Chain A
Amino acid sequence: MNEFFTLMKPELLIMAILFLLLFIKISKGLANDKLLQFIQVLLLINFVAGFFLNAEGKLFDSMYQTNAMIVLQKNILNLGMFFISLLFTDWFRKCEHLSEFFMLMLSALLGMFYMMSSGNLLMFYLSLELATIPVAAMSNFNLDKKVSSEAAIKMILSSAFSSGILLFGISLLYGATGTLSFTEMPALLTSSPLQILAFVCLFTAFAFKMSVVPFHFWTADVYEGSPVVVTSFLSVISKGAIAFVFVSTLFKVFQPLHDIWYNMIMVLSVMTMLIGNLFALRQQNIKRFLAFSSIAQVGFILVGMSSNSTQGTASIIYFICIYIFSNLAAFGVADLISFFTGKENVDDYKGLYQTNPLLSWVLALSLFSLAGIPPTAGFFGKLFLLSAGATTGNYIFIGIAAVNMIISLYYYLRIIRAVFMDKNETPVEKISINPYTKIGLYICSAGIVLIGLLSWVYDYIESVVN
């Protein structure tokens, strides 16, 4: 029993928060202000508690497994959740169904946690669904906007489709190997055509959730239609969780099929970087812009994934940790501006620096971090992904990735240019940022600057992975 509590601690904590919110809701409820503060405190406690009393082991006949690396990954996601609760304070305060929204978001997070800890394909499938369906409901939260419903329906339909493919893959794999357990699977993989077909189905489902080209078509519409909070949750937390699971599944379970998935990853990575970048070049809406740029970022994560080594795993965790800081900061700024002024176009950002210097610097830092320019942490994140990818000796691949870094710099600079250089008769008026959001923005900026320079962060991640 004791083991049950220590091993499943992250999930149990999230569940406790969930039930607490439920009880508050059905008793007499709290005003949004109070409730939000309460949630922020709970999420902070949840994040801090993630570092204590951790253990390694398996539960329920290896259905559930955990180790130091998985705990670290969960902590990173917890941190992201805490940032979200801080950064989007204004939107949350206005939200009509705040407790429901957080319940949905936390259930999705719970699903992701179970997914990261799953030791069995069925468990994996169940938790993946738990991580998906609440997000579709969340996408619909701008109740007065049609695009929001459209986003929700697009998300749920396309997710259902990818789940179908995933289930098909799982059943084929079960037919081909006779097991669903992750631990028994590797020994039974022989690269027979049936197994490869099953693997491709599985791979497709992963690629779909991570919005890897050519399975990315849902991303831009869903990102644009949903509230910014949901967009940032999808592009940071959800994508991070899937990347974590994807990398450990590939490196551990499907290790025998390495020759096959290496080529798949390489081709998909090049396509993802290129198409994400090329589409991002011409976007006017800032949410769509960030959507396509985050597709391009996935391409870089795939570069690290192609390495098939512990350094690859470490660099992906490191990158996602940095990505949480930088992308959430960018979304936080975009949300503030769209919440107070309703402006979401790149052209509306012209002259932002004149009126909102703090927001401009945070946005600039986060964009430079996403572009991978020093001294921001994104530079180290991208460089380690590339050098992990270079361990295979495929330098042309790394060259293509480096070229894509230049293309991406071009469109990130477009925003920087609008913010700092272009003149505008009617710039965005001065936004009074509330203290919670301010703290969030400061922490994110500090993280962007420091995570890379404090080299022990990477060494710590690497030591945990080993």
Chain B
Amino acid sequence: MNLLLLILIPLLTAVAVFMMQNNNQVRWIAFFGSAIQLILSLGLYVVYTNARNHGDTAQMLFEQNMPLFKSWNINLHLGVDGISVAMIMLTAFVVVAGVLMSWKMEKMTKEFYFLLILLSMGAYGFFISLDLFVLFFFLEIAVIPKYLLIGVWGSGKKEYSANKLALMLMTGSALVLVGMFILYFGGGKSFDILQLAQTNIPTWTQHICFPLLFVGFGVFTALFPFHTWVPDGHSSAPTAGSMFLAGISMKLGGYGCLRVATYLLPEGAKEYANIILLLSAIAILYGAFATMMQKDLKYINAYSSISHCGFVLLGIGMLTKVAFTGAIMQMVSHGLMTALFFAVIGIIYERTHTRQVNEMGGLLKVMPFTITLLFIVGLCSLGLPGLSGFVAEMTIFVGSWENPDTFHRIVTIAGCMSIVVTAVYILRAIGKTAMGPLKEEYNHLSDAAWHEKLATIILLVGIIAIGVAPFWLNDLVSPGAELIMQKIQMAK
């Protein structure tokens, strides 16, 4: 399978969207483009597992290597392993759902879809590139769309949030940039991830480089204390924007932390693992407690995202194979779950014109479909077995328990405790929204429209597929996690 297709299809879709004059054409083209991409990524999964089952043990499949800037030794090196395939599928699901959720967007429709598709292209490119320079290019390509999506189509203090997000994410990328250069000149003038993994990077370089890369990518995935863009950015963005931000964009950071920082710099990872654990435990607990204080549905989900993404970093910091697998599963699970959550919030907000939990009540009577989804996604968030959240978090905890010392135990227990807090805020929020007497002005509210139903069902399918049968995802990603673990074990 030619991986370039994964970049070309969004690119062509974006161009086609930009060419169109009629809003209806724009919508359908964006939908078809993203639907083709979804089929393609499911096809990629099939082809990938087939190849693996037939005994193809290469680290990366479907590799392509084209020279780009010869004198800097920069190549367009593409390839996927199980982790990338999982992330690509996540992206495709969220993109289709996001496109469907914005069906009624009337303000500058063309530009909106253009930016949305451009943003998704950045994510696809990021997940398939094996060259640090190209990876960085795709990481940054998403900055403009994010900024404009929030600033133009957002709500509330949107300009402030857009600025904050763009500047903080750029700060993260600046750290990545410097780390990347040190790696390049310290690792034999190559940006190639596979080559860098083979070279022996000196210990002191690893110790300098690791914090730069990890914190740089960590900003994207709400590493405490660089999480402050998350609540503002998520709550100000339009529905599809929030879905993309939380569902895809935050995962870029987690993937980078794992694939670039931890995989290439195992000694650095060992050196700083305890600090990562401490920060992620703080993020988990802080995020959970901060959510308790929120009254706005979007803020609730944004703060709980900080808490859930803390689990990703916790899993990485534990440095065991099972915890790595759990971290990746948590990324996929949280991506689907949070996108669904934002979609449901979007549906509710479109009808009630408020996101304040206190102003709602009894919505279950008028919007049974939407509110049922809200229940499901809430239960997924608090880790109910049978849904994806439980699988991912459980895997992380099991992996964490492999570390026998007290510190790791305490951090793990602290992480587990947050689930109780999660239950409190989720149940309270859902209860206030769905139960109780229905306000009179909400009597006439209609349930989700066809496009909203389709969008949410697509995401729900993903959540349940992971929740009920987690083994396929586990089998997909654990060989990749195993490789990273081998690097860690070989390191001093």
- Asked if A165 is at the interface (CB within 8 A of a chain B CB), the reply is no
Q: Contact: B174 with A403, CB < 8 Å?
A: yes
How many angstroms from the CA of A233 to the CA of B324 in the assembled complex? 56
Known: A375-B141, A409-B167, A421-B159. A398 touches B181 (CB 8 A): yes
- Asked if A319 is at the interface (CB within 8 A of a chain B CB), the reply is no
How many angstroms from the CA of A422 to the CA of B162 in the assembled complex? 13
- Asked if A4 is at the interface (CB within 8 A of a chain B CB), the reply is no
Q: Among the listed stretches A22-30, A48-56, A383-391, which one makes contact with chain B, having 4 or more residues with CB under 8 Å of it?
A: A383-391
How many angstroms from the CA of A399 to the CA of B71 in the assembled complex? 23
Inter-chain pairs besides A391-B185, A406-B167, 18 sampled, C-beta below 8 Å: A374-B137, A374-B140, A375-B141, A379-B137, A387-B181, A390-B182, A398-B181, A399-B174, A399-B178, A402-B175, A405-B170, A405-B174, A406-B171, A409-B167, A413-B163, A413-B167, A455-B74, A459-B71
- Asked if A462 is at the interface (CB within 8 A of a chain B CB), the reply is yes
Q: Contact: A402 with B141, CB < 8 Å?
A: no
A interface secondary structure, majority: helix
Q: Among the listed stretches B145-153, B300-308, B413-421, which one makes contact with chain A, having 4 or more residues with CB under 8 Å of it?
A: B145-153
How many angstroms from the CA of A416 to the CA of B167 in the assembled complex? 14
How many angstroms from the CA of A421 to the CA of B182 in the assembled complex? 38
B interface secondary structure, majority: helix
Q: Write out, one digit per residue, whether chain A residues 335-369 have a CB within 8 A of any chain B CB (1) or not (0).
A: 00000000000000000000000000000000010
- Asked if A57 is at the interface (CB within 8 A of a chain B CB), the reply is no
Q: Contact: A455 with B68, CB < 8 Å?
A: yes
The number of residue pairs between A and B whose CB atoms lie closer than 8 Å in the complex comes to 81
How many angstroms from the CA of A416 to the CA of B163 in the assembled complex? 11
Q: Which of chain A's residues has its CB closest to B181's CB? A: A390
Q: Write out, one digit per residue, whether chain A residues 410-424 have a CB within 8 A of any chain B CB (1) or not (0).
A: 100100110011100
Q: Contact: B140 with A379, CB < 8 Å?
A: yes
Q: Which residues on B sit within 8 Å (CB–CB) of A379? A: 137, 140
**Number of chain B residues whose Cβ lies closer than 8 Å to a Cβ of chain A:** 33
Q: Which of chain B's residues has its CB closest to A418's CB? A: B159
- Asked if B69 is at the interface (CB within 8 A of a chain A CB), the reply is yes
Q: Write out, one digit per residue, whether chain B residues 102-140 have a CB within 8 A of any chain A CB (1) or not (0).
A: 000000000000000000000000000000010001101
Known: A314-B71, A391-B185. A421 touches B174 (CB 8 A): no
- Asked if B387 is at the interface (CB within 8 A of a chain A CB), the reply is no
- Asked if A311 is at the interface (CB within 8 A of a chain B CB), the reply is yes
> Please, could you name 16 A-B residue pairs with CB atoms under 8 Å apart, sorted by A?
A373-B143, A373-B144, A374-B141, A384-B72, A398-B181, A399-B178, A405-B170, A406-B171, A409-B166, A410-B163, A413-B147, A416-B147, A417-B162, A421-B158, A459-B69, A459-B70
Q: Which residues on A sit within 8 Å (CB–CB) of B74? A: 455
Q: Contact: B69 with A409, CB < 8 Å?
A: no
- Asked if B62 is at the interface (CB within 8 A of a chain A CB), the reply is no
CB contacts under 8 Å to A, within B154-212, are 158-159, 162-163, 166-167, 170-171, 174-175, 177-178, 181-182, 184-185
How many angstroms from the CA of A174 to the CA of B311 in the assembled complex? 69
A-B pairs with the 5 shortest C-beta distances? A402-B174, A390-B181, A421-B151, A455-B68, A374-B141
- Asked if A38 is at the interface (CB within 8 A of a chain B CB), the reply is no
Q: Contact: B148 with A413, CB < 8 Å?
A: no
